[in-house]
Amino acid sequence: MPLATRNALLALAITVAIIGTIVAAINHLDRQRIAELDAIQSQLATDTLSVETQFALLENAPCADLTTGTDLTSEVSSLGDRLNVAESRLGSNNPEVLRLKKQYTLLQIRDYILTQRIADTCDVEPVTALYFYSNEAGACESCDRASYALSYLRQTYPQLRVYSFDYNLELGALKTLIAVEKVEERFPAFVIEGKRSYGFTDVETFQELFPKDLFATTTATSTKTKR
């Protein structure tokens, strides 16, 4: 076989092998990402259960000891960031992403309930925002802007707790939350301090939905005391 022909065929095989290796490496990384999400999710499930147990055991203890909920919130947020990366890499219809997303949504709902219970028991009033979006094409033009504004507010005002939910996720607990909070299928939808609102225009208008004293200070406290 002439040298040029041999090299042309060999080069084709090597090129295909290199591309195959790259594809395999990316798939491997994606599987590792899923595995890491699984590990974090398991840890968080344990932590959530632990906190709830602690809460039950220390029901009569001083509220100052019940700060674990704040740590949990930061971990939930970290899981959310990682899940976003996995979703953008693997697609929102990937079965594993969907499974983890449902578990993450459950964790968020449990954390939200826990926060509410701490608020009721310890006489504190955390600032929480429920944010409902939709991934369906054309359903929510301003969700990207709303998500970014919420990220900004959450980072700037650490006392703000944001819970984001994919409205169309097939999960019983989420459907119940939507029903309880009476959230309509209009996006983006927010429940802030128990009040529902829809749509996003700009961050200044959006900030008006929050209690004014949230923006009075940026001191990182987890809750504010009820007046």
| Chain residues in the site for other proteins (CB under 8 A) | 2-4, 7-8, 10-12, 14-15, 18-19, 22-23, 25-26, 29, 32-33, 36, 82, 85, 144-145, 148-149, 152, 155-156, 202-204
Angstrom distances, CA of residue 55 to CA of 13, 110, 129? 62, 13, 23
Rounded to a whole number of angstroms, the minimum distance from the CB of residue 203 to other proteins is: 4
Rounded to a whole number of angstroms, the minimum distance from the CB of residue 26 to other proteins is: 6
When the beta carbons of 51 and 83 are compared against other proteins, the nearer one is 83
When the beta carbons of 8 and 49 are compared against other proteins, the nearer one is 8
Rounded to a whole number of angstroms, the minimum distance from the CB of residue 204 to other proteins is: 6
- Residues 86 and 136: their CA atoms lie apart, in Å, by 18
When the beta carbons of 120 and 202 are compared against other proteins, the nearer one is 202
When the beta carbons of 63 and 85 are compared against other proteins, the nearer one is 85
Paired strand residues for 133: 166
Angstrom distances, CA of residue 169 to CA of 8, 17, 66, 146, 201? 50, 39, 32, 19, 25
Angstrom distances, CA of residue 63 to CA of 201, 218, 227? 39, 23, 16
Please state the length of the chain: 227
